[in-house]
Structure 1
Amino acid sequence: MSEPEEDLKEDKKKVCKKKKNKEKRRGEKMEEEKREQEEQVHEAEKHSESVILRGIFKVGKKSHDVLLTQTTLTWTPIIPETPTGEVTALQPGMLLLRDVFAVKVKRRRAAGQQSGGAMLGVALFCCRRRGRKLEEDTLHLHNASADHTHTWYNALKEQIAGISSRPRHLKVFINPSSHKKEAVHIYRESVAPLFKMADIRTDITVTERKGHTLSVIKECKLDEYNGVVCVGGDGSVAELCHALVFRAQLDANFPEKPMKAVLPVGIIPAGSTDVVSCSVHGVRDPVTAALHIILGHLQQVDMCSFSPVGQSVHFGFSAMFGFGGRSLARAEKRRWMTSSRRREYALVKTLAKLRPEECELSFLPAKKSRQNLFWNRDQGDNQEQDSDLEGEGEASWTTKQGQYLSISVMSIPCLSPHAPRGLAPNTSLTSGSASLIAVENASRSEFIKHLKRFGSSSGEFSFSFVETHAVSAVKIRPLSMTGFSKEESEEEGDSKSTPIIQPEGAAFPWNIDGELVEIANEVLIRVHPRLISLYGEEVEEAESTVSCSCI
């Protein structure tokens, strides 16, 4: 045999050996990936109570081994041997059933065809997080077998229907006058399609006047519903929450004591600031709010009762006296302006005429905060606090008299795009106390510095003239008799909106949950822990999308 022939034979042996080694490595890799797939399936089985179904579906263009348990849906790619011997690395997926709100059978239909059509598989409509927002997403499981598809469809529907916190029938109130008068459009375009997809029945009332919601709730058969939804601003939300607490008092025949509302409230933001919505959603986004409602995310929330002397009790979340009340009174007299211009006008005008109010301020410290001026939201808040004034033990009233530019009492953080950390950042939704923020008389420039810091990271209370307390009750008694003077009222022009309360004589403007309330006498504010449940969750900070240029 010649030397070139021997070299050629040796080369062929090397090629064959390399090929065998390559095939061996490919086989070992496939065996390893097969073992990994089996381990993932076993892991899913181990962490679930039981395996309900297992089958083959296409996810995208690849076949997957799909496993359904009581809590999760997992899909693991099936790796076939390719002609080139290469193995594609595909990642397994998992979806929690608690994030799925609708399941539909997919069919291929011709244009205009209403029923029938070739079977395509199952579509799962679910929720995914993007920052503070919740967004709609879809997982498509493709399989042409009708029996296979219907088996999976029925099993998925059964598991989703078993989540007890999800509403099936909702009473919806829409305030068509909120903010830019877009509430009806927001509900029809962004919310109603999601409710329909989730098979939620709705009974809709479009409110026509202030007090309409209360009159409907008083006569409504609440046991027919799983929840109540408000599409509007903070005033509409407070009116609905007040109505539900008042109805609970009527049903219990116990008008002297606040009773917990029997139905949770969902808030679709359609106002100018939406601080209650932002406090339980983190964003002013109707889709996020609707998905919280559909998925049954419930959060207990504290409320306050506002009791002017000689007048009926009103339930809400926040009250502002002084600067907050006067700026709202001026804004209400400029309803023809856009909301942003109206707000800036009112702030600038009130700052230009800034003046303190002579008041007697009394407060009852919250039990948890006797040692510390405030406890922050990172500390435990699971224990309920009895907010009744009787039986407070060692707690005693603290009374001060002086001149105040602003006094605010808030049972929730009151987050908003203008104040991402909230107007009361040191409280929480279920702290069992309210945040009292008293701003004593100061120069206009120092007061403006205080206001500006609400839009920044911190430092809004680090002024010698700002005093903060965690309280269970507050009394505010104006000592001057000026109120919102006749000259100021005439200067501002006639108001197109009527305040909630119109007492005789001199009255002081209050901002209670974004609504103008005129009160002449002392006001008693009390905190009532976990008085209502809202659809949403506790959030630390709201999304900031605006900046105020007025100051």
Structure 2
Amino acid sequence: MTSTTVLHAACTVDGESVSLSLQEDGLVLERGDALPTTIAWADVLGATATATMLTIHTCPRRGNGKRALRKLVAESDDMTLLAHVAVATTFLARFGWAPERSLDDLLHATPAPRKCLVLINPVGGSGKSEAMFESVRGFFDATHIDVTTQCTEYAGHATEIGRTLNLTAYDFMVCVGGDGLASEVVQGLMRRQDWHDAIRFPFGLIPGGSGNGLTQSLTKLLGEAFEPENCAYLIVKGAPQPIDMMTARNAEQETFYSFLSLAWAFVADVDLESETYRFLGGARFTMASVAKVLSWKRWHGALSYLPLEADESSDSAYWESNPTPRGSAPELHLLHDISAPVPTHWKTIEGPYSFFWATSAALPSSDCHLAPGAHINDGLIHIVAAPKNLSMVAQTKLLLGLDTGAHIEYPFVQVIKTRAYQLRRTDTNYISIDGERLGGETIQVQMHKGLGRVMCLPLPAQS
């Protein structure tokens, strides 16, 4: 046994004698004179031992990047040894290699199984969310996660669940649906008296709706394929990670909390009017986009924002700056009174506008690279706007550029980074915030860095 090996077992796999060892690089299988096979810890989910049989659950990537569940079944007459291998494998699969821990440490340090509430929107997207979760339930079983499922039954049900959820009954929640389902839960969490604890209750997402911006952004950041299996993998192998959230308010005293984006003009109209084509699933956005381009509509209003160079506030995470929560909602120290004039150190860009989309993520919608380089916890709002009367050709070019992020290089597109802004409209057109409609002539938004937590693998360092 080398210094990088925590446990070694002689066993039988498919009738063949195999040496199985738990090493720093992963599970190592040696068969006779053949080269050793190593299964990296990143691809190991967990293990179980029953009498003389050991089952190790893995999820390697296929050629297309999609992860698939696999089982390695080993047998041995040494039942105690197999039980030790199962416990140690499960620990290392979840927490990674721990050179300072002995085998005895691993056998006594494994925590109790996690508990998870899986919230399913049965009518989201193409209406296949329940079947989709069942197709990835094996990831949760393999990692010994105790799952409780619940389907939403009416509009606003997810908000009510978030408002009344017993935070001590579960370790985290998984939303199976689109961004809208998770957004509803967030609204409920923020309506609680203990909002400062509730908003830090971790949530994960498995795409089952037609708008999946957050899962697209997470998989992109972490180098995973945008597939339900990969999203489940990120959740079960992950841990709570900070995620930025925004407060949006209007003059009518309505407040909305967003983890993704606010859209106005072309994008908002497409997002909200596309409900007409819901039966088409994700293709509904394409249909609505074509119809809107052909209408050659313009939207009138003004954007005012706090330039980063004039922002003297701390860029630290919200809970570092506010360790002792006060009040019934996050502090809005960057925003002025909504009925007062815009501060002189803010900048204003008058319309009309052809395009306006503000996001905290790189991909606020499926396959839409709106803000390349944006990070879900960089503490910034990334505004992409076209405050001009674009021709139909230019508008089409902008939309096509969203597929790769090329649009940010076009001279008629402005990219603004800020922590607070105000949008004043002179029309009654839609504003869409995380897929939901928000009214009011004037909207103010402030960013809160790391206010919430999302279940996934550790995010890469920001560039």
User: Do both proteins adopt the same fold according to a TM-score greater than 0.5, normalized to the shorter chain?
Assistant: yes
| Counterparts of 1:334 and 1:154, CA distance in 2 | 50
Counterpart code for 2:156:
G
Deviations along 1:522-548, one digit per CA (max 9) or x if unpaired, are: 0001111112222235489xxxxxxxx
Query: Are positions 1:453 and 2:386 aligned together?
Result: no
Q: After superposition, where does 1:108-147 map in structure 2 within 5 Å? A: 119=52, 121-130=53-62, 132-147=65-80
Query: Are positions 1:289 and 2:227 aligned together?
Result: no
- Equivalent of 1:303, from 229, 245, 254? 245
Aligned length in residues: 421
Residue matched to 1:277 = 215
Q: Give SS of 2:122's match.
A: coil
Residue matched to 1:56 = 10
The alpha carbon displacement at 1:399 in A equals 1.5
Q: 1:154 to 1:449 in 2, by over 3 A?
A: closer
Q: After superposition, where does 1:59-74 map in structure 2 within 5 Å? A: 59=13, 62-68=16-22, 72-74=26-28
Counterpart code for 2:418:
V
| Counterparts of 1:435 and 1:165, CA distance in 2 | 40
Query: Are positions 1:235 and 2:180 aligned together?
Result: yes
Residue matched to 1:11 = none
Residue matched to 1:504 = none
* Greater Cα shift, 197-206 or 523-532: 197-206
Q: 1:219 to 1:518 in 2, by over 3 A?
A: closer
Q: Give SS of 1:229's match.
A: strand
> Does the 8 Å contact 1:166/1:296 carry over to 2?
no
Deviations along 1:177-225, one digit per CA (max 9) or x if unpaired, are: 101111112122x133332343322222211222212212222211121
Q: 1:259 to 1:147 in 2, by over 3 A?
A: closer
Q: Give SS of 1:338's match.
A: helix
Q: TM-score, normalised by structure 1?
A: 0.68
Residue matched to 1:466 = 413
| Counterparts of 1:196 and 1:265, CA distance in 2 | 18
| Counterparts of 2:197 and 2:422, CA distance in 1 | 22
Residue matched to 1:82 = none
The alpha carbon displacement at 1:259 in A equals 6.7
Residue matched to 1:320 = 263
| Counterparts of 2:381 and 2:262, CA distance in 1 | 11
Query: Are positions 1:91 and 2:35 aligned together?
Result: yes
| Counterparts of 1:391 and 1:333, CA distance in 2 | 38
When Rg is computed on C-alpha atoms for both structures, the one with the higher figure is: 1
Q: Give SS of 2:158's match.
A: helix
| Counterparts of 2:357 and 2:365, CA distance in 1 | 16
Deviations along 1:427-474, one digit per CA (max 9) or x if unpaired, are: 111211010111122111111111111123x42022332111111011
Q: Give SS of 1:418's match.
A: coil
| Counterparts of 1:68 and 1:527, CA distance in 2 | 44
- Equivalent of 2:274, from 331, 353, 376? 331
Q: Give SS of 1:104's match.
A: strand
Counterpart code for 2:395:
F
The alpha carbon displacement at 1:307 in A equals 0.8
Counterpart code for 1:401:
E
> Does the 8 Å contact 2:125/2:282 carry over to 1?
no
Q: 1:92 to 1:347 in 2, by over 3 A?
A: same
Q: 1:262 to 1:402 in 2, by over 3 A?
A: closer
Q: 1:311 to 1:390 in 2, by over 3 A?
A: closer
The alpha carbon displacement at 1:69 in A equals 5.3
Q: TM-score, normalised by structure 2?
A: 0.80
The alpha carbon displacement at 1:384 in A equals 3.8
Residue matched to 1:172 = 118
Q: Give SS of 2:130's match.
A: helix
| Counterparts of 1:360 and 1:347, CA distance in 2 | 23
Residue matched to 1:104 = 48
Counterpart code for 1:91:
L
| Counterparts of 2:131 and 2:261, CA distance in 1 | 28
Residue matched to 1:35 = none
Q: After superposition, where does 1:101-500 map in structure 2 within 5 Å? A: 101-105=45-49, 119=52, 121-130=53-62, 132-157=65-90, 168-188=114-134, 190-247=135-192, 250-251=193-194, 261-282=199-220, 283-316=225-258, 317-335=260-278, 337-366=279-308, 384=317, 390=333, 396-414=345-363, 417-419=366-368, 422-440=369-387, 441-456=389-404, 458-479=405-426, 481=427, 483=428
Counterpart code for 1:403:
P
